[in-house]
């Protein structure tokens, strides 16, 4: 049992949901992964602050949104995971150009709310299969747009539960890359958007979602793009050029629809997926000389 669970299980001030040995296959978009020792779903940002202020400094900590872009190994995770999805879900129009969004809000929802209010510039978020917290952490993008291009400010929290307001000036931001203060995590952001036409924005989102549905395997468990696009090229093109579409390891297969997606056909383990990622990487390197960089994070212990 996690040290946190042993020392703080009876903390009656906490209002969130605390569980032990939670199966992460329920919380990851690949539908694989072992159990986590301690799993916490905070009631709100204030409750999250209290939880973190009690957390031992040596406790392993990982943040989970919708569980996309993530592979949890079959042996699970021996520390604490904080799940923001569905709980840190506040979203509010601040004025005619600014939208407050908490970290657990799904990116497509943020896109739709912005469009509903007649704000332009956030439609691309509908193509990101994760939460705003995850999108901020990696500068996620889709359809040519990138998260930090529309961020005015963020609110972060540290291991002690202290909150801070920051701007992009506090971070080194690049393609699928955000580097900033250590041991701080995003809990909310303010998006600065242009004034647009609500009907046009909603139509644009519908068109982009249709495009995503026809070009990506949205009906099968996947974690989004597995590899980053190398400069001036596309990972999917390189993978397909090596004849890897449809290649499988156990129940994990390279999608026939989009070569930079690996799908769980129903029986995949995290081990199958990790082996297939390695196989694809090595084949592309040997045949094209390109060393593809993973976009997916791998955490946890091998079984």
Q: Domain limits of the chain?
A: 3-83, 91-215, 235-299
**Proportion of the chain above pLDDT 70, given as a percent:** 96
Rounded Cα distance between 151 and 149, Å, is: 6
pLDDT for 250 equals 98
Tell me which residue of 3, 12, 29, 25 sits closest to 221, measured CA to CA: 29
pLDDT in tens, 60-87: 999 999 999 999 999 999 999 999 998 9
Model confidence, pTM = 0.89
End-to-end CA distance of the chain: 17
CATH topology of domain 91-215: 3.30.465
Alpha helix (H) ranges present in the chain?
3-8, 45-54, 107-116, 132-138, 198-215, 235-241, 270-288
Rounded Cα distance between 2 and 80, Å, is: 7
pLDDT in tens, 211-251: 888 999 989 999 999 999 999 999 999 999 999 999 999 99
Rounded to an integer, the average pLDDT of 199-211 is: 93
pLDDT in tens, 253-262: 999 999 999 9
Could you tell me the pLDDT band of residue 6, with boundaries at 50, 70 and 90? very low
What 3-state DSSP class applies to 156? strand
Whether 71 contacts 61, CB under 8 Å:
no
User: How, if at all, do strands 77-83 and 61-64 pair?
Assistant: parallel
pLDDT for 5 equals 52
Active site residues: 176, 225, 295
Rounded Cα distance between 188 and 185, Å, is: 9
pLDDT for 12 equals 74
CATH architecture of the domain formed by 3-83: 2-Layer Sandwich (3.30)
pLDDT for 302 equals 86
In CATH, what class is 235-299?
alpha beta
């Amino acid at each position: 049992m996690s040290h946190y669970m042993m020392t703080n299980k009876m903390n009656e001030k906490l209002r969130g949901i605390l569980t032990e040995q939670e199966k992460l296959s329920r919380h990851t978009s690949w539908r694989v992964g072992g159990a986590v020792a301690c799993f916490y779903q905070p009631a709100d940002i204030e409750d999250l602050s209290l939880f973190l202020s009690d957390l031992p400094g040596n406790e392993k900590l990982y943040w989970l949104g919708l569980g996309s872009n993530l592979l949890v190994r079959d042996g699970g995770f021996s520390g604490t995971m904080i799940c923001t999805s569905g709980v840190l879900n506040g979203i509010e129009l601040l004025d005619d150009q600014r939208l407050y969004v908490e970290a657990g809000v799904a990116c497509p929802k943020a896109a739709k709310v912005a469009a509903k209010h007649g704000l332009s510039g956030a439609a691309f978020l509908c193509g990101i299969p994760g939460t705003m917290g995850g999108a901020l952490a990696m500068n996620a993008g889709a359809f040519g747009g990138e998260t930090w291009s529309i961020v005015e400010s963020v609110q972060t929290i540290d291991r002690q539960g202290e909150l801070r307001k920051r701007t992009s000036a506090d971070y080194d931001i690049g393609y699928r890359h955000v580097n900033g203060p250590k041991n701080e995590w995003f809990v909310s952001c303010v998006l600065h958007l242009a004034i647009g036409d609500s009907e046009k924005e909603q139509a644009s989102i519908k068109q982009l979602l249709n495009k995503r549905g026809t070009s990506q395997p949205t009906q099968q468990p996947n974690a989004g793009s597995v590899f980053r696009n190398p400069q001036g090229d596309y990972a999917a093109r390189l993978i397909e050029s090596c004849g890897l579409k449809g290649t499988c390891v156990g129940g994990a297969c390279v999608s026939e629809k989009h070569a930079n997606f690996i799908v769980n056909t129903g029986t995949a383990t995290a081990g199958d997926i990790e082996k297939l990622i390695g196989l694809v990487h090595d084949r592309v390197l040997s045949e094209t000389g390109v060393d593809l960089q993973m976009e997916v994070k791998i955490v946890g212990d091998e079984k």
